[in-house]
Amino acid sequence: MERILIIEDEEKLARFVELELGHEGYQVEKALDGREGLELARAQPFDLILLDIMLPGLNGIEILRRLRRFSEVPVILLTARDTVMDKVSGLDTGADDYITKPFAIEELLARIRVSLRQKREKTVSNPCLEAGDLMLDPLAREVRLNNRSIDLTRREFDLLQVLLENKNIVMKRELLLEKIWGYDFDGGTNAVDVYIRYLRAKIEETSGQKFIQTVRGVGYVIRDE
């Protein structure tokens, strides 16, 4: 299920969009101010962010600037009328698209579908994931560290892939469990810790490099140095 974050201070609009996206089968989180939205984007993985420009405190452009330091998640800006400069600086700052308020929900849904499709295509055309000297090729299902091939089991590989796909974002144990073992698995989140240990033994202990950070009580993250 694709996850979308709405950062929008107009509560009614945020709630409306949340309901509509929910109907379309997206999993939605919303934040009513910029800082909260930025924190959510840092703490959880999203496939797309809808970002209002006119926010109290930190405005949308500033949020986008900070977001782009750690994430390449597609962003669609929600702009008020007559703010051509906002659109221009938004696209310059790394927004993928924008939509002017008031908008028809069908138009927003169409733009969301386009952005998500572009994101998937980008992943297919350049599939290799990297962190420092570590490289994972999802198509060849190969992991290399300092150019030496590392032998991983299927679960270890999948776990490393999810962490690398969500670089700089703390992945909760529950979410890792769901992504790698599936909803039905009832072995508990211990399985995640066990496989993180296996992974560390293979990629960290041998190289002396640290890739996977533990966020106590939450989960795991691989960060850019």
Report in angstroms how near the CB of residue 54 gets to Ca ion at its nearest.
4
Structural tokens at position 202 = 């293979």
User: At its nearest, how many Å lie between Ca ion and the CB of residue 81?
Assistant: 12
Q: Which position's Cβ is nearest Ca ion?
A: 54
- Shortest reach from residue 98's CB to Ca ion, in Å: 14
d(CA 22, CA 210): 39
Q: Is 7 exposed, middle or buried (0-12, 13-18, 19+ CB in 10 A)?
A: buried
Number of alpha helices (DSSP H) and beta strands (DSSP E) in the chain: 8, 12
Listed ranges 3-11, 20-28, 141-149, 204-212: which one lies at the site for Ca ion (CB under 5 A): 3-11
Binding mask 54-83 for Ca ion (x = CB under 5 A): x-----------------------------
Q: How far is the CB of 101 from Ca ion (least distance, A)?
A: 9
Confirm or reject binding of residue 9 to Ca ion (CB under 5 A).
yes
Q: Count Cβ atoms below 10 Å from residue 61 Cβ, excluding itself.
A: 20
Tell me the C-alpha distance between 86 and 90, whole Å: 6
Per-residue mark of binding to Ca ion, 14-53 (x: CB under 5 A):
--------------------------------------x-
Check if the beta carbon of residue 115 is closer than 8 Å to that of residue 76: yes
Minimum CB separation from Ca ion for residue 45, in Å?
25
The answer to whether residue 116 forms part of the interface with Ca ion (CB under 5 A) is no
95 class by beta-carbon count within 10 Å (0-12 exposed, 13-18 middle, 19+ buried): buried
Residues at the site binding Ca ion, with contacts judged by CB under 5 A = 9, 52, 54
